[in-house]
Amino acid sequence: MVGFCPNKNISSQHVDNPLKRVKIGSPYYFKVMKVDKERFSFLLSCKSTDLKDDGPAFTDEFWDADVYKEDVNQMSNELKKKKEANTRVKRVIAHPNFKNISYEEATRSLDDMDWSECIIRPSANKDSSLSVTWKICERVYHNFFVKESAKDQIFSIGRQLTVGGEDFEDLDELIARFVQPMIQISHEITTHKYFFPNGTCEDVEAVEQWVREKKRELGRSPYVFSASYLQPCQFCISYMFDNTERIRHEYFK
């Protein structure tokens, strides 16, 4: 589709020659002021007053106000996260599993690490807590918070760590008693011979198709495990429970 910006929409001041304000081949931000459906074109504006206005300039009977609100909230949350990341105190913690990185950076690093590894990093919420991230399976990562107490400095680690009401003296004890057993149990599920490897339990049609394929292959009704993308550390067992070939899905942690 073609976008058109008239001279009056280039600047709040009068413009005789647009080439005095813009250059050919250079990128510029524009706001869509109107959509001409018959000509498949947009009426655009790059005036600062229009760009600063957060509200939509053009709506019609197909405008989805709820989706627009969700998009605005999502952009606001992303800007907030970036701001928090830039102002976050850099922690000084001497431990091989600790890294001063974000959640997104942690998930990318875990893709190249062994399944038994986890990454401990600063929490995005408070300077008095840590986050532990580990990989369950492809595209699925679990993340939980660790509360710190008895801190000497804002950038150092607390002498007491708490998760779910249980206290730990240091990161080694936390990993050995809490993280590793959870990772081990999860790994037993994700490496099971009936674990669904081609997606998550939210891909209901694909999971059910895999159950039917396993039934034809084995000559009996099998149970199939799958991991949840929306609720990390939660799994689903899917199976046929009668002769109608209906498939039941039950979730467990």
Q: How confident is the model at residue 125 (pLDDT cuts 50, 70, 90)?
A: low
The pair of structure tokens assigned to 150 is: 């008895």
Cβ pair 188, 161 in contact under 8 A: no
On the question of pLDDT at 43 being above 80, the answer is: yes
pLDDT for the residue 17: 85
Q: How confident is the model at residue 252 (pLDDT cuts 50, 70, 90)?
A: very high
On the question of pLDDT at 57 being above 80, the answer is: no
On the question of pLDDT at 123 being above 90, the answer is: no
On the question of pLDDT at 69 being above 60, the answer is: yes
Output the CA–CA distances (angstroms, integers) from residue 57 to 6, 7, 47, 155, 159, in the order listed: 16, 18, 13, 46, 54
On the question of pLDDT at 85 being above 60, the answer is: no
The pair of structure tokens assigned to 232 is: 């990390």
On the question of pLDDT at 126 being above 90, the answer is: no
Question: Among all chains, which residue has been given the structure tokens 């813009």?
Answer: 22
pLDDT digits (tens, 9 = 90+) for 2-24: 899 888 888 878 888 888 788 88
On the question of pLDDT at 37 being above 90, the answer is: no
